[in-house]
Amino acid sequence: MRAVICERYGGPEVLKIVDVPKPEPKDNEVLIKIHATTVNSGDARVRALRVPLGLGIVVRLSMGFFRLKQPILGFDLAGEVEAVGGAATRFKPGDCVVGAGDFTLGCHAEYRCLPEDGALVHKPESLTYAEAVSLSFGGSTAADFFSRAGLKSGETVLINGASGAVGTAAVQIAKHHGAQVTGVCSAANLELVTSLGADHVIDYATEDFAKSGATYDVIMDTVGNAPFSRVKGSLKPEGRFLMINGNLPQMIEAALRSQVIGGVANASDPVFGERPFDYLMRLAEEGALKPVIDRTYPLEEIAAAHAYVDTGRKTGSVVIEVAPG
């Protein structure tokens, strides 16, 4: 099968399409023919070893010192079940599914095996493969942080970076739970963020929300340029700060403050009492969570997709079409 491998840390040019053995499902796994996957900011950061201050050695030790232990990137997938392991019962060949390999990656390929009891669910018929997979990374991240924050109806929420994959999902999820949402983004994306349900939008180039005097129950920073030290004055007394991106000093501070919620989202941990992908696909079927796709590339142009993600200007998700569907 074809797969995209990251030969070494570096720019998009380090990505190569090669032939590798097609995987075989273990007893509790399903083999999925991938139709669509995404290139997200996490893929780009891992490829380039572009990590926050203080985390370079940690990442090298866990993922590979000079090159990746798992050279095939890719957090999520949508596709068709081709075969199942001997003990697998939740899925059958021909099922359309959407899921994630989480930190094991490996989805930038034509086939991937995933545990049937992991982050894997049936794809709603109302969504294309591209639409379903576009909700995965950003949606599971936003839902995880809001769930851990105990988001309540009527609370005020500010989302810094409201036009990215996490941000566009966060705006919609917060509105679904009855929050009053303020989105911070560029002027070019104000209309998009408003269309997703934001009650207020702020152009970061003309207004610094941290100096406006407004306070919020929840502030989510998806970008990494609004640390707790900058926004603490914008939090209400019982407010919570959701640190999606943070460096080592900020993570240490988060561990010492109960109102700061950090860490990494896991697509297998329950959110709002549901499995994450069950939750996301249910919201999508109900019309409460709409896909936002910036661009779509064929697998052969995945380096160009990485280069675009590297610009930091994408809105929503960048989808890779692996097989037609």
Domain coordinates of the chain in residue numbers?
A: 2-135+291-321, 139-261
pLDDT band at 55 (very low <50, low <70, confident <90, very high): low
Report the CATH number of the 2-135+291-321 domain.
Answer: 3.90.180.10
Helices (H) and strands (E) in the chain, counts: 10, 15
Indicate if 139-261 has the same CATH topology as 2-135+291-321. Answer: no
Cα separations in angstroms, 283 against 140, 147, 169: 12, 15, 11
Mean pLDDT value across residues 191-211: 97
CA angle in degrees (0–180, nearest 5) for 52-141-111: 95
- pLDDT tens-place string over residues 68-101: 888 999 999 999 999 999 999 999 999 999 999 8
| Residue 294 pLDDT exceeds 70 | yes
- Is residue 60 packed enough to be buried (19+ CB in 10 Å), middle (13-18) or exposed (0-12)? middle
E-only strand ranges, the chain: 2-6, 15-19, 29-39, 76-84, 96-100, 111-115, 120-122, 156-160, 180-185, 200-203, 216-221, 235-243, 260-261, 293-298, 317-321
83 pairs with which residues across the strands?
31
Q: Residue range 297-324: average pLDDT?
A: 95
Torsion of CA 293, 297, 303, 309, to 10 degrees: -10
- Give the range among 27-31, 49-53, 258-262 with minimum mean pLDDT: 49-53
pLDDT of res. 50: 81
Which two three-digit tokens encode residue 250? 């900020």
Residue 49, token pair as written in the block: 């070893």
Classify residue 264 as exposed, middle or buried by CB count within 10 Å of its CB (0-12, 13-18, 19+).
exposed
* CA proximity to 83, closest of 33, 34, 123, 21: 33
| pLDDT band for position 58 (cuts 50, 70, 90) | low
**CA triplet 134, 136, 137: central angle to 5 degrees?**
100
Q: Averaged over 144-172, what is the pLDDT?
A: 98
In this structure, what are the phi and psi dihedrals at residue 262, rounded to the nearest 5 degrees?
Answer: -125, -150
Contact 127, 121 (CB under 8 A): no
Tokens of 210: 């941290």
Mean pLDDT for the chain overall: 93
Which residues on neighbouring strands pair with residue 296, listed in sequence order? 319
pLDDT surpassing 60 at residue 106: yes
Q: How far apart are CA 279 and CA 69, in angstroms?
A: 32
**Overall average pLDDT of the 241-257 stretch:** 77
Residue 258's pLDDT is 80
Q: What is the 3-state secondary structure (H, E, C) of 52-108?
A: CCCCHHHHHHHHCCCCCCCCCCCCEEEEEEEEECCCCCCCCCCCEEEEECHHHCCCC
Q: pLDDT by residue (tens digit) across 115-125?
A: 999 999 999 99
Range with lowest mean pLDDT among 141-155, 260-274, 308-322: 260-274
Nearest Cα neighbor of 159 from 198, 207, 213 is 198
Query: Of all residues in the chain, what percent carry a pLDDT higher than 90?
Result: 81
pLDDT score, position 269: 87
Q: Return the pLDDT at 51.
A: 72
Indicate the pTM of the whole model: 0.94
- Residue 219 or 57, more confident: 219
Calculate mean pLDDT across residues 253-279: 86
Question: What residues pair up with 84 in beta bridges, in sequence order?
Answer: 30
Report, as an integer, the average pLDDT of 46-50: 87
Please report the pLDDT score of residue 315 as a whole number: 97
Residue 170: pLDDT above 50? yes
Instruction: Please name the fold of domain 139-261.
Output: Rossmann fold (3.40.50)
Find the mean pLDDT for residues 189-197.
98
Please determine, for residue 325, whether its predicted confidence score (pLDDT) is greater than 50: no
Residue 274: DSSP 8-state: B
Residue 266 burial (C-beta neighbours within 10 Å; 0-12, 13-18, 19+): middle
